Amino acid sequence: MKPPKLSVEQIRELGEPLYRTVVPPHWADNNNHVNVRWYAVLYDDAGDVLHDLHGLTVESHRERNSGTMDLEHHTCFVGEVMVGDAVAVYVRALQVNAKRLHYLMFVVNETQHRVASVFECINAFVDLNIRRTAPFPEASRLLMEEMIAAHSKAAWPAPVTGVMSV
């Protein structure tokens, strides 16, 4: 499923990117563009920053013996990224409940000034003592709700697949 056309300017309305990098040579595949596995790295690294913004840091997880885990995700590729391109990852938070967060991330190719990829995800808070989902800490959930409220003001519809929700 191809998401609706989104401009870089629309995505930048979401605020500062979570993550920026320049694509290194070892990310290239036989097609001479970024291999699919490196998009997962981009989204995972940006996800770490997203969790930090919600107070779910490595240290806080260590103290609680908790973590976060993706339960489901979908990635749509809409433009190539090449070695040497500068990329940025933006987030649009959509929904949260006691245990799950639904969000989108966008890879923007800043060199080519276009959207390269859209990622939709359901992520959960996990109690590692029992290896099951558990309620987010209240302070973290409140921060997520604030982000969702801010992102809900975007003038463009969130390009969701329609098969994921919390």
Q: Write out the residue range of the structural domain in which residue 88 sits.
A: 8-151
Count of structural domains, the chain: 1
Assigned domain for 159 exists:
no
71 pLDDT higher than 70: yes
1 pLDDT higher than 80: no
* CATH number of the structural domain spanning residue 97: 3.10.129.10
Look up residue 56 and give its amino acid: L
Assigned domain for 99 exists:
yes
Q: CB of 68 within 8 A of CB of 55?
A: no
Write the CA distances from 94 to 22, 60, 121, integer angstroms.
28, 24, 10
Average pLDDT over the chain, rounded to an integer: 96
d(CA 22, CA 141) in angstroms, rounded, equals: 32
Q: CB of 80 within 8 A of CB of 55?
A: no
Dmax over Cα atoms in the chain, in whole Å? 46
d(CA 108, CA 105) in angstroms, rounded, equals: 10
Q: CB of 109 within 8 A of CB of 87?
A: yes
Assigned domain for 59 exists:
yes
Assigned domain for 2 exists:
no
Assigned domain for 112 exists:
yes
Assigned domain for 100 exists:
yes
Q: Which candidate, 139, 103, 107, 141, places its Cα nearest to that of 123?
A: 103
Per-residue model confidence as pLDDT tens digits over 112-121: 999 999 999 9
Assigned domain for 164 exists:
no
40 pLDDT higher than 90: yes
